[in-house]
Amino acid sequence: MFYAGRPMDVACLLIPDFLVALARRDNPALRGRPIVIGGSPEEHTAVAACSREAAAAGVTIGTTLRRALALCPDAVFLPLQEGQAASEAAALFDLLKLYSPVVEAIAPGHLHFEMRGLPQLARLEPQHWLEDLHQAAEAATGLPIRLAGAPAVFAAHAANFGEEGSRRPVLLREDDAPRYLARLPVEVLPVTPAMHQRLRLFGLVRLGQVAALPFAAMQAQFGRDGARAWRLARGHDDSLILPASEEVRLVEEIELPGPTALSEPLCIGTRGLLQKALERPEARGRSLRKVEWRVGLESGEQISRRVVFREPTADPARILFVLRPKIERLQLPSAAISLGVTLSGLCSEYGHQANLWPVGPRRWRELVESVEQLHARVGEPQVFRIVEVQPWSRIPERQLGLVAFGS
């Protein structure tokens, strides 16, 4: 039997202190010790993340590393491994995409996603569905994960942020949400730290206290943020999950008719691949910025080259013009047996303003003389060119003008 009331629409997945959790997973000896991430203390950079133990000593994100050392001499200082964090976050995002079609990445290790109707599809109760997901995510990442499902984004988000420690996934029903939210600290509200501090100075520590105030009082004291905080504290939230737009990538691959180490067959094959990719419906009427070219070798290796265009293009000849020198310079350790291209960075069609005639200096002189002859014959200018006169003007007729060609 499913829960009564409004269905659980959204969920929040959170790995608290993501960077610290990664460091502790890779080195279990760090558990319980204060950690500061950002580099070694002699570096002139700032703290990128810190553990709760370090935070308790006064270290905050943005503090200089030297200051962090002074505040917490026992801390373990670790370098910021952005690449690893990004790939772990991407892996978590991909895992969640297997469970929900609408996933929004809020920050590394923090995702919101829709779960409306998904437990029913899996013939599970929402709590069991979330528990399955929780187990799968913890097993895949090896990281402590918090999950909360609720009828609205803020309730799910607040349920994860408001309580310490690991626990089973939380599931809030619409009628439970206000009571649950009431005991959470005001710091879960998505407002500025200054407003959190002001709320505390007013003696407002829990969301329940905020919700109990008259709406007008919150609005009068804090303006628009106050009105929003009051609504959120009562569980009223109509914000939506905005899924990440997926980049269109066009991939084409061929097996070469026979192994080769010559550049010309590779160029011919590349031209064919580019033409095939650019004729696909997804590429029609669009230009691209990035091309990844790769060749598979008999030895099993793969060599790739990436080209990023300053101006987007949809012209296979131009793409090949840029790729050809890279292909010709290759010294393949063994014969090539396959080719592939991936086109990405697709954007709207990009136009180039071409000259009216292919004008060289001599041709230009002839043209100017012909136009001047025409002007002299008629007695007044007949051919004009557009010039920007006052492009900054708000008066439309001042912006552009025509001047006699050749003047």
Partner 1 sequence: MVSNSRTPAGAGGLRQLNGKQGFRPLNQPVPAAVEADGAGNPAAVLWRGVFRRVAAIHDTWRIDDEWWRDEIARRYFLLELEGGRRLTLYRDLCRDLWFAQPYDRPRDAASA
Contacting positions for partner 1 (CB under 8 A): 359, 364, 380-381, 384-391, 394-404, 407
Please say which residue, 203 or 351, places its beta carbon nearer to partner 1: 351
- To partner 1, the closest distance from the beta carbon of 387 in angstroms equals 6
- To partner 1, the closest distance from the beta carbon of 356 in angstroms equals 11
- Residue 46's beta-bridge partner residues? 64
Name the strand (E) or helix (H) holding 253: strand 250-260
Please say which residue, 299 or 390, places its beta carbon nearer to partner 1: 390
- To partner 1, the closest distance from the beta carbon of 123 in angstroms equals 51
Please say which residue, 265 or 381, places its beta carbon nearer to partner 1: 381
What phi-psi label fits residue 252: left (phi over 0), alpha (psi between -120 and 50 degrees) or beta?
A: beta
Going by C-beta distance under 8 Å and a sequence separation of 6 or more, which residues neighbour residue 244?
93, 103, 104, 105
Please say which residue, 200 or 398, places its beta carbon nearer to partner 1: 398
Question: What span, in angstroms and rounded, lies between the C-alpha atoms of 138 and 130?
Answer: 12
Helical axes 82-97 vs 18-26, angle rounded to 10°: 100
- To partner 1, the closest distance from the beta carbon of 361 in angstroms equals 9
- To partner 1, the closest distance from the beta carbon of 385 in angstroms equals 5
Please say which residue, 29 or 395, places its beta carbon nearer to partner 1: 395
- To partner 1, the closest distance from the beta carbon of 382 in angstroms equals 10
Pick from 152, 154, 212: nearest CA to 182? 212
Going by C-beta distance under 8 Å and a sequence separation of 6 or more, which residues neighbour residue 164?
none
- Residue 306's beta-bridge partner residues? 292
Query: What residue spans of 183-240 are helical by DSSP H?
Result: 193-201, 207-212, 215-233
Going by C-beta distance under 8 Å and a sequence separation of 6 or more, which residues neighbour residue 323?
267, 270, 291, 293, 305, 307
Please say which residue, 326 or 398, places its beta carbon nearer to partner 1: 398
